[in-house]
Amino acid sequence: MKRLPIGILGSGKGSNCRAILERINSRDLAADARVVISDVLDAPILAIAREFRVPNAYLPPGQFRTRLEPRAEEELVKMLREAGVHLVVLAGFMRVLHAPMLNAFPRRIINIHPSLLPKFPGLEASKQALAAGESVTGCTVHYVDEKIDHGRVIAQREVTIFSDDTPQTLHARIQIAERDLYSSAIAQLCEEYQATHV
């Protein structure tokens, strides 16, 4: 069985990355984690990669705050290509990707966001959902395009909002849903990959 080669990008905690690597290890997910890359030198996601013995790297992002410097983005493309990555999985990657990555991996970059997109894109999605008085929110796996938290939806899961929820308690429950949803969505893409790569 041909395994889908993935590269995971993240800037922080790495709970989604951990869940994906656990599912791969338990042979529950027909993917092959080729590399984990972070724009943050001491991000826990890199320690998780080391724990699972997945090749990992720090990518110096350059001088901008919300995007990679063009040279750094070209370097990222090179690193992912050299690792043989077919699908790029964003797992808490806090920079917006631009032409170098979008052109190198057309419809092959996915992201997870803690809301039912198109509702509440951007930062603090749980806080936004509470402020809007919603009774249900959730999480979304989607293809990445040039806009923030935008692009064709692959899968969504609802999470009920309780009257005593804070942004923190709500986000924690969304993250539990995320960990399962992301692996399920990647499993679906593994099947599509296997159907086209014999």
If one counts every other C-beta atom within 10 angstroms of the C-beta of residue 74, the result is 14
Closer Cβ to ligand GRF, 109 or 112, answer by number? 112
In terms of C-beta density within 10 A (0-12 exposed, 13-18 middle, 19 or more buried), how is residue 190 classed?
Answer: buried
- Diameter over CA atoms, the chain: 51
Which residue sits closest to ligand GRF, CB atoms considered? 92
The nearer residue to ligand GRF, 74 or 130, going by C-beta atoms, is 130
* Catalytic choice (86, 98, 113, 171): 113
Q: Which stretch binds ligand GRF (CB under 6 A): 34-42, 97-105, 106-114, 183-191?
A: 106-114
For tokens 């539990």, the residue is 176
Q: Please answer whether residues 29 and 23 qualify as being in contact, where contact means their C-beta atoms are separated by less than 8 angstroms.
A: yes
| Total residues found in the chain within this entry | 198
d(CA 131, CA 123): 13
Q: Which is nearer to ligand GRF, 12 or 55 (CB)?
A: 12
Nearer to ligand GRF, 15 or 183 (CB): 15
63-102: contacts with ligand GRF (CB under 6 A): 91-92
114 near ligand GRF, rule: CB under 6 A: yes
Fill in the DSSP letter of residue 161. Answer: P
113 is catalytic: yes
Q: Are 102 and 144 in contact (CB under 8 A)?
A: yes
Q: Does 13 bind ligand GRF (CB under 6 A)?
A: yes
Residue 10 binds ligand GRF, judged by CB under 6 A:
yes
**Cβ neighbours for 99, distance < 8 A, ≥ 6 positions apart:** none
Q: Which of 14, 61, 138, 151 binds ligand GRF (CB under 6 A)?
A: 14
Convert residues 170-189 into a mask of x (bound to ligand GRF by CB under 6 A) and - (unbound): -----x--x-----------
Binding site for ligand GRF (CB under 6 A): 10, 12-17, 91-92, 112-114, 175, 178
